Structure 1
Amino acid sequence: MELQNWIDRGFELIMIYGPKILFALIIWIVGSWVIKMLLKGIQKTMERGNYDVSLKKFLVNLINWALKIILIVVVLGTVGIETTSFAAILAAAGLAIGLALQGSLANFAGGVLILIIKPFKIGDFIKAQGVEGTVKEISIFNTQLLTFGNQLAILPNGKLSNDNIINYTSEGIRKDAIIYGIGYDSDIKLTRDIILNLVNEQPEVIQDEGKQPMMVVVELADSSVNLSLRYWSKNEDFWGLHWKFLEEGKIRLEAAGVVIPYPQRDLHIIKED
């Protein structure tokens, strides 16, 4: 008799929950398929938009988990489980995590912003937060730079995304300005001719219209007349030309008798009787 009661009770539960479980199973299968199709569409959209690989993976995983959590809540509600408290627990947990990880979330938001806007890319030489270096890696939370001395600088993306950034290599070419100080008795025209001849001998210097090399007087200083050499070059030729013009320019100016002064002081000794 007791066995029959258990059988009847089991049959009753099957009749009550069986359709709900079956319906929930159908929702799970269909929902999983829809999520899969949505993720494929999102991935194709990101590929067409040329999103960064790390950003693409992170966003796809984030959307995948968010959609699956929503699907789980819907399935639990279909079975008859109260989901209000479950949603409240998730909201409370999210708030607690957010408060505990404010700095990390700021870096995360900054990383997403950097990877979307792309103010720089791996291999660019930039200056930010007082640090200059070549971008080695861009992650969600920080950006790594290799400085000129080959030190690794790690910059948090939260501050980096809100700071001024100078990207020296994004345009492909750079303009230099080298100052030559000559004595007041030296010939300005001769100095200009010597330096511009040196510059024009270098095939790496860009000679396009509007970007021709020029040399102008920029300051009448205390002990020198300062002339500035302006020229354009490709990024990969920039430093080689810069160092060459400093060294070879000095050699040629001195050979031509142009005086390159340096600060001096006259000392007058007064003898008292």
Structure 2
Amino acid sequence: MEQIKLFLLSHLPLLQSLGIAILKALLIAIFGWYFASFFRKKIYTFLKKKDEILANFIAQLIFVLCFLVAMIAALGALGIQTTSILTILGTAGVAIALALKDSLSSIAGGIVLIVLRPFKKGDTIEINNLNGSVESLNLFNTSIRLPDGRLAILPNKHIANANIINSTSEKRRIEWICGVGYQSDIEIVRHIIKDVIASMDKIDKTMAPFVGITDLGPNSLNFTIRVWAKLEDGIFGVRSELIERIKIAFDQNNIEIPYNKLDISIKKESE
């Protein structure tokens, strides 16, 4: 017991200084985490008004940098030389960079996407045979919501090096090819189709529609119909309604929509 007391008395100043250093390091780490989170939220809230994807990416980057600085300060409070820490981090950084080159490529790809800004949140894009709405851009990947509800998560490095088609627009063109019988009057058919288009409120009248023959098919005169509609009205629904109305109008005016026919001639040889 006496030996323990002597040990504690002799090492008490060292234990006190070590305890204070550990407490300081913990406080620095805790406050570093708090301030990193605080700055991340503030930056995200400020930049969200301009671009949510940009805000999310920069906020994540600021959080990582702030917390890294706080951890270096915490280690310095323990008496570890910061120059040694930076040297170790530099050496470790090279090894980590070699081991995680794919992840670092994704971070670099994310930075490229942020700088070039080929899309923003909510944009409809087509990439690598995938078509969907952009939900988020993080440090390592980009999330795209597919039309069937599935979520595609793609590494930023693949997106930065891929061909991106941004099809976001308030309006979208609807195209449909309709065949009528060769005996049909071209002007009457064109007039019927234009009347149907004019009667539909969901078709944008500011964009001139196109109605005309674009092909002489084996069994029909093929009219190409091109109109514009707003995305908010639902492109597939507008297209379906257009087809239904044209079919009804053709039936009312006895305009034939022919089906594929095959004429077979039988020749009887004389005996």
- Is the TM-score greater than 0.5? yes
1:215 is aligned to 2:203:
no
Distance 1:185 1:120 in 2: 51
1:195 is aligned to 2:199:
no
Structural mapping, 1:77-226, within 5 Å: 81=81, 83=83, 86-115=85-114, 117=117, 119-122=119-122, 124-139=123-138, 140-148=140-148, 150-168=149-167, 170-208=168-206, 211-226=207-222
Kindly provide the CA deviation profile for residues 140-197 of structure 1, in whole angstroms up to 9, marking residues without a partner as x.
423132323x3333333322233233333x3211122221122332222111111111
Q: 1:142 to 1:217 in 2, by over 3 A?
A: same
Q: Which runs of 5+ in 1 are unaligned?
A: 1-24
Shift of 1:234: 1.1
1:55 is aligned to 2:57:
yes
Q: 1:144 to 1:219 in 2, by over 3 A?
A: same
Q: 1:265 to 1:158 in 2, by over 3 A?
A: farther
Shift of 1:80: 9.4
- What is the match of residue 266 of structure 1? 263
- What is the match of residue 7 of structure 2? none
SS state at 2:237 partner: helix
Amino acid at match of 1:192: R
Q: Which runs of 5+ in 2 are unaligned?
A: 1-23
- What is the match of residue 21 of structure 2? none
Distance 1:119 1:104 in 2: 22
Shift of 1:243: 0.7
Shift of 1:40: 6.0
TM-score of the superposed pair, with normalisation by structure 1: 0.68
TM-score of the superposed pair, with normalisation by structure 2: 0.69
Higher alpha-carbon deviation: 250-259 or 107-116: 107-116
Contact kept, 8 Å, 1:46 with 1:56, in 2: the verdict is no
Kindly provide the CA deviation profile for residues 126-147 of structure 1, in whole angstroms up to 9, marking residues without a partner as x.
3221122334444342313232
Amino acid at match of 2:110: G
Match of 1:246 among 223, 227, 243: 243
- Give the number of equivalent residue pairs: 240
Distance 2:82 2:51 in 1: 43
RMSD of aligned Cα (Å): 4.0
SS state at 1:83 partner: helix
SS state at 2:264 partner: coil
Q: 1:156 to 1:257 in 2, by over 3 A?
A: farther
